[in-house]
Amino acid sequence: MKYREDLTVFVVDSSSLCRYMYKKHLLNLGFSNIHTFENAGQCLSAINMRPDIILLDFDAIPENSFNVIKQAKFLNPGLHVIMISAQQDIKVVVDALRFGVSGYVMKDEHQLEMMSYETNRLLQQSAMNIAN
């Protein structure tokens, strides 16, 4: 089983402030191999690094398309994608889940707390899958 410090995490957000804040938070959670990208195209061009988790801002996806998620998961089937978005439309959440998103974090005053929750949930889920 991989530990937090062994996992590769990609952070994709068009805001440099958000990228900095998310990376700092992930470092505080014990992740150390974190790469940040301004847009989904940059992320896809580095997908050969085989990230374990991608934190993907909905606004960083060109034309609000979920093709990026499909491409990333095709190239790396074990990948977990956590969508981060200010979108409150339930259809966006449903579409994200349909395209293989592992978790969804709303951009609000609780986003860092929810990011912690989602990453912990994925790690626990992976540990249980290995145990079974």
Q: In this predicted structure, what is the pLDDT of residue 11? A: 96
Q: In this predicted structure, what is the pLDDT of residue 124? A: 86
CA distance 119 to 112: 11
Domains of the chain, first to last: 4-131 (3.40.50.2300)
Q: In this predicted structure, what is the pLDDT of residue 66? A: 75
Residues 6+ positions from 26 with CB-CB distance below 8 Å: 9, 11, 34, 55, 115, 119
Q: What is the pLDDT along the chain (132 residues), one digit of tens a residue?
A: 577 888 999 999 999 999 999 999 999 999 999 999 998 889 989 999 999 999 999 877 765 557 778 888 888 888 999 999 887 778 878 888 888 889 999 999 999 999 999 999 988 887 766 665
Q: In this predicted structure, what is the pLDDT of residue 35? A: 98
User: What are the structure tokens assigned to 59, written together?
Assistant: 């606004």
User: What are the structure tokens assigned to 69, written together?
Assistant: 């998620």
Q: In this predicted structure, what is the pLDDT of residue 114? A: 95
Specify whether the CB–CB gap between 103 and 83 falls below 8 A: yes
Q: In this predicted structure, what is the pLDDT of residue 64? A: 55
